[in-house]
Structure 1
């Protein structure tokens, strides 16, 4: 397992778009040299337009702006949106876009799902929040509950390196220019990072990414080790929960040895099929003492965990086959008592005030007819990544966006 733990970071938890978007937009507004941004979804709504404005202003004052969006998650930006970015000098790249088939998107697997922002090599953001208005409470009943972290310190250099590495792998002709132009950017210095975040002071953190090259199981391995080392309390809040056998066994073993294991999962799902899959595992977990709470206020989109109020993670990775075995993901692992205690207290409040606890009696209703479905679904999804791996694989490639004849398009640059 590749690890790069760094001491001396300051990490602040950002809850929902109300905290995340202003922090990111302010950082970009202050950029002097470089903005690197990766996301799964950008929409042409008030958040997407706010992002476009700060990126355009940065590019117009000479900042190098590299914007990467997933070709499946972000298929619908029109020529006006794209053209204004490109005219200002923003470099916009789409991760593996594919043409529609009968009006439907086809490139579901191996997506760029991570959400990373790095500004001037000095401040970075890692989390699960996309650039769209459904991460704001005023969106309505389907507004998402989600999390990110703001990072200052040595780990920023690792986050920047991860973003540049994706650009280096991309198939466009001027990639070398990116690295020559920005090679002299300094790594962040923890002694000059400004205010104290919710970590309460310098802390230890590690960026962990999952890709389809040489880091296929990194995030899962970090989760496994944290769960196996848990002694008192473990809380996981995760939107799409259908882990493989190793993680399930680790959670059950932790509960059996007396660790309080609490899962906060979707109760008002944005994707009902995903919740159905999660519910198939409820009885298996509950019978070994795992506590399950369903968040009922709005769709849960978070991917966070805290162990023994000392270790925590915030990022883009769900605990399901897509995130753990196929998508490109990024999580920040944090070892800091103040940060972990703050996240633990937040999840405790969430469970107590906004969740419904699932009882084993409720989970077992209709179990007699669900049992064969549980068996079939679990083993199918357990082997799903290998099945999907037999499909034609695409390279981890980026396509430079352009506007041609009034329509938004993307084209591979040789």
Structure 2
């Protein structure tokens, strides 16, 4: 055991789930490997397949061409209990990838499906049920849980290294052992207490999609990794005491912000390195904590999309306009962009994007992963973006945090090798190599040259205010 394995005793006590020992953890990087694994696990299921779905492309197919709906139908035809909890909010700005449970979706489901579905509505109050999770054989000794941020979309079907296929980088986590009971609890709580709109009743009927019993026992230990599930929940969504195996009953009435608590505690405990991949450039309190860590001499790498989602471009433009009049603090995200820019003063900070240069030119790789690795000894991976909506009791999110250099460091080295094409020895070496590779690529792009390996450095002070370097001035 490495001396750092017990370093980050940062378990969050604000949510229902304790730290569970005796687990096996397998990170899956990029969509093709993950969806191959998920399809195989579901095809091998013997009793139950449960899924929590936020966004979905209705035409999604696994890498072998099998449609998502056909996989569910096959499982149900074998007599399995198949349940899918969808998010419902017709007022969402883009419903193209939201399976709303209205007439069109129910017609698709009615092809021949006898699997069960519920739609958890967030119309009032408005928010996003953003969790992504899958459970295979829940309640059985060898049950599996998959927790992450990947969307059921053909755009996620990327190969590691991004030399071909989709240009989206993402991650998921496979769990086996006692912690799976908590993933089951999360599903049962949300399934039983889902807010049902009359326009989208349970499918195919109340009886088939009826309530589930709470988990009553932990799966047996099958590894040596400590894992804790953490959530973000808005207040008032799931009221009432819920039983948790080998823990006190918990009432989520006040909401939960366990993922934010994990991030802040882990960053505060960091002594060497912090590596982050996220779709968003940071929540304000997290960025402040990163600044404090950098002042202690901790090295920090944050990987984000160079061409972020339109909402980030829009917010950055609004903040920039207010800043011309010294009023950026008036914007909701003004302090966030100011704090991000301030991190550039620290030589140990690297903000970077993923990209590849080949015979077809430059290709931006969109970072959709939501993960963090601290000192190569603690990690979190899940659905939560580094933005206030995901971390501060608004969106419904689910992350898994785990401890131990034996399981966290290999993930860090794998990611850095994928993005730099260079092998590293430990966490400090990995971040130094990443920073050097990212800055060399940035300099090459500024000279009109290619991306060197798979990443390049960004300017934190101008993030989302200038086009990516791969697109020219």
TM-score, with structure 1 as normaliser: 0.75
Residues 228 and 189 of structure 1, relative CA distance in 2, 3 Å threshold: same
Do residues 314 (structure 1) and 381 (structure 2) align? yes
Alignment-derived partner of residue 346 in structure 1:
414
Structure 1, 222-231 or 76-85: larger mean CA deviation: 76-85
Which range moves more in the overlay, 111-120 or 209-218?
Answer: 209-218
Q: Which residue of 2 aligns with 1:287?
A: 345
Q: Is the 8 A contact 1:304 1:314 kept in 2?
A: yes
Residue aligning to 1:327: 395
Measured in 2, the distance between the counterparts of 1:366 and 1:310 equals 35
Query: Which segment drifts farther, 60-69 or 78-87?
Result: 78-87
Q: 1:230 maps to which residue?
A: 270
In structure 2, the CA distance between the partners of 1:366 and 1:116, relative to structure 1 (3 Å rule), is: closer
Summarize deviations over 1:81-103 as a string: whole Å, max 9, x none: 644645431112223276xxxxx
1:50 aligns with 2:67: yes
Q: Which is helix-richer, 1 or 2?
A: 1
Displacement of 1:209 after TM fit?
A: 1.2
CA drift of 1:356 comes to 1.4
Residue matched to 2:470: none
CA contact (8 A) 1:55 1:85 kept: no
Q: Conserved in 2, the CA contact under 8 Å of 1:44 and 1:77?
A: no
Question: Does structure 1 residue 68 correspond to structure 2 residue 79?
Answer: no
Distance 1:109 1:266 in 2: 26
**In the alignment, is the contact (CA less than 8 A) between 2:22 and 2:225 conserved in 1?**
yes
Q: CA deviation at 1:124?
A: 0.7
Q: 2: distance between equivalents of 1:287 and 1:248?
A: 13
Aligned-residue Cα RMSD (Å) equals 3.1
Q: CA deviation at 1:269?
A: 2.8
Task: Give the 5 Å matches for 1:214-229.
Answer: 214-229=254-269
Q: How does 1:108-257 map to 2 (within 5 A)?
A: 109-121=126-138, 122-137=143-158, 143-170=167-194, 171=196, 173-174=206-207, 177-180=210-213, 187-191=218-222, 201-213=223-235, 214-244=254-284, 246-257=285-296
| Structure 2 counterpart SS, 1:162 | helix
Can you give the 5+ residue segments of structure 1 that lack an aligned partner in the other structure?
99-106, 192-200, 368-414
Contact 2:257 2:391 in 1 (8 A): yes
- Alignment of 1:29 with 2:68, yes or no, is no
Out of 274-283 and 140-149, give the one that drifted further.
274-283
Q: Note closer, same or farther for the CA distance 1:365–1:235 as it changes in structure 2 (3 Å cut).
A: closer
Q: Is the 8 A contact 1:142 1:299 kept in 2?
A: no
Partners of 1:43 and 1:288 in 2: how far apart? Answer: 41
Q: How many residues align?
A: 346
Higher relative contact order (CA 8 A, sep 6+): 1
- Partners in 2 of 1:366 and 1:303 — Cα distance? 22
Residue 60 (structure 1) shift: 1.6
> What is the DSSP-based 3-state SS (H/G/I as helix, E as strand, rest coil) of the residue aligned with 1:298?
strand
Distance 1:253 1:183, change over 3 A: closer
- Give the deviation of 1:109 after TM superposition: 4.1
Structure 1 residues 85 and 62, CA gap change in structure 2 (3 angstroms): farther
Measured in 1, the distance between the counterparts of 2:147 and 2:295 equals: 33
List per-residue Cα deviations over 1:168-223 (Å, max 9, x = no partner): 2124655994325x867x642234xxxxxxxxx52111111111133432110110
1:235 touches 1:347 (CA, 8 Å); kept in 2? no
Residue matched to 1:8: 22
Shift of 1:279: 6.0
